[in-house]
Chain A
Amino acid sequence: MVQELLFHQAGASLPTPALHVALQQQPRDENGAGRGRALPGYQRSQGRQDGGPLRAQVLGRRLGASVCPLRVSGGSGDVPILTSEDNIVSQPAKILNFLRKQKYNADYQLSAKQGADTLAYIALLEEKLLPAVLHTFWVENDNYFNVTKPWFASRIPFPLSLILPGRMSKRALNRILLTKGEPPLYHLKEVEAQIYRDAKECLNLLSNRLGTSQFFFGDIPTTLDAYVFGFLAPLYKVHFPKVQLQEHLKQLTNLCRFCDDILSCYFRLSFAGFSPAGQDIVDANLQKLTQLVNKESNLIEKMDDNLRQSPQLPPRKLPTLKLTTADEESNSFQPLSP
């Protein structure tokens, strides 16, 4: 599962982030008409489709690391990936361990029992919600061909874009059938009914557990919040043709509020519709403009100075001064002519 750590404020101090979170940026799909817009920086996962990259990005934001667009990583083909100096850590469990060793831990303040609860709820998510999410994204034909496949294929370079989405779809179907398709459920339709029922029940349980509090364990986000967000946010925001699970989720208002809160807190820049790369470009332009304006104002100041200095010269030099003044003026005017 994707892991992401929301950095705990009061815990460890934040050193200069040598952590450079390498993630893949999702540019806006031209034909998609903002399909991805509501969900900033949705990363495609070449490995397993499980919301991990989103969590990793939230982690990156929290740590203040720069999020840069990544070329297709030829290496392990696994996302999310955390690149820190020379280390490349690729799977969620390993990323979490790595960050813990660096003394970043979002569960610092939880009691032992709450830590145990976290594990239990994560297991619940994996067992009950994940099959249905996989199905919605990768197996349901309408959704897959209209949304998921073009979305992912648009970011993968040409030869792989024909192969990888298909492979991920098959892997998802495989997983669903092997874990859920045991007798007496033999047909995919029956399995579908069962997994959606389980997923809806799971969403209800999560909603009951969240209640009216802001995060699952009080006011501070923890690993469990990251996990839940990673699962729910794509489900909530992506526009699908077939939406039964999404409809159910939208009825659970506290979960929707939870997603929106996290999106606005941690994805503020992107939420307005800019990808961080776009924001960088805007910043660069702004910088250039500022420099130009500064140069112009420097020139104008120099001109002012020259003008002010000229009358202060002694009067007997006036005749020559006039010339020089004129010269000076003409000289000082020169930069302005081109």
Chain B
Amino acid sequence: MSLVAEAFASQVAGKVPFIHVGNQVVSELGPIVQFVKAKGHSLSDGLDEVQKAEMKAYMELVNNMLLTAELYLQWCDEATVGEITHSRYGYPYPWPLNHILAYQKQWEVKRKMKAIGWGNKTLDQVLEDVDQCCQALSQRLGTQPYFFNKQPTELDALVFGHLFTILTTQLINDELSEKVKNYSNLLAFCRRIEQNYFEDKERVPLRLA
């Protein structure tokens, strides 16, 4: 799918990630998981109650820390906003819509940050939070191939999604990806999933130079 078409489709769905199945569009992780479950596939069937609770808790941790940090870096850090985010976000739209929508999105994100208490955080504090989160994930993963030993679950998918994005997106400063690179088992984890599930050559390979 070309970039423009993807952007258009994401506007229809309202949120990324989304899947387009037949004539249905399902967006966001929660509904996608439920949709797939309704079709008869579920990754977390083999877990008991306590493990499911743990999985949910870790997914919330990732959402809380990593997602918010990514949003912060993209929209609240002035340097990044000016150089990268505005142009990337406004790309599909003609002038002046690209500017207006970008500013509107920035205002929305800043409002949300303020509501949850991240409005006054400096970039260093945010990076420290990311570090803490990665440390927790790294400790949970340990030496296992996946978070719940042999089989990948939704948590693995979520973590992979975030870490891969962080590692492969070019930003002005590389501090965020440096924080992740400190944890070798997380890197190995990302590599492993990439090799197992994303064999096709079109993908941007994980450059860990």
Please list the residues of chain A having a beta carbon within 8 angstroms of any beta carbon in chain B.
48, 112-113, 115-117, 119-121, 123-124, 126-128, 171, 174-175, 178-179, 182-184, 205-206, 208-209, 211
Say whether chain B's binding surface is mostly helix, strand, loop, or mixed.
helix
Check: B161 CB closer than 8 A to any chain A CB: no
B137: chain A residues at CB < 8 Å are 116
Among the listed A123, A178, A183, which residue makes an inter-chain contact with B115, where contact means beta carbons less than 8 Å apart? A178
Q: Are B115 and A116 in contact (CB under 8 A)?
A: no
A175: chain B residues at CB < 8 Å are 115-116
CA of A184 to CA of B25 in the docked complex: distance in angstroms? 13
Q: Are B139 and A112 in contact (CB under 8 A)?
A: yes
Check: B133 CB closer than 8 A to any chain A CB: yes
CA of A117 to CA of B139 in the docked complex: distance in angstroms? 9
CA of A178 to CA of B117 in the docked complex: distance in angstroms? 12
CA of A178 to CA of B15 in the docked complex: distance in angstroms? 15
| Chain B positions 32 through 70: 1 when the CB is less than 8 Å from some CB of chain A, otherwise 0 | 000000000000000001101110111011011100000
Q: Given that A112-B139, A113-B139 are known contacts, is A127 also in contact with B60, CB under 8 Å in the complex?
A: yes
Please list the residues of chain B having a beta carbon within 8 angstroms of any beta carbon in chain A.
14-15, 49-50, 52-54, 56-58, 60-61, 63-65, 111-112, 115-117, 132-133, 135-137, 139-140, 142
In the assembled complex, 22 residue pairs joining A and B whose CB atoms fall closer than 8 Å, in A order, are: A48-B117, A112-B139, A113-B139, A116-B135, A116-B139, A119-B136, A120-B58, A120-B60, A120-B136, A123-B65, A126-B60, A127-B64, A128-B60, A174-B115, A179-B112, A179-B116, A205-B53, A206-B53, A208-B49, A208-B50, A208-B53, A211-B50
Q: Are B117 and A120 in contact (CB under 8 A)?
A: no
Chain B proximity of A144: nearest CB distance (Å): 19
CA of A179 to CA of B63 in the docked complex: distance in angstroms? 12
Chain B proximity of A138: nearest CB distance (Å): 13
CA of A281 to CA of B57 in the docked complex: distance in angstroms? 46
Q: Are A179 and B50 in contact (CB under 8 A)?
A: no
CA of A126 to CA of B129 in the docked complex: distance in angstroms? 15
B52: chain A residues at CB < 8 Å are 205
CA of A182 to CA of B117 in the docked complex: distance in angstroms? 18
B111: chain A residues at CB < 8 Å are 178
A183: chain B residues at CB < 8 Å are 14-15
Among the listed A113, A126, A178, which residue makes an inter-chain contact with B112, where contact means beta carbons less than 8 Å apart? A178
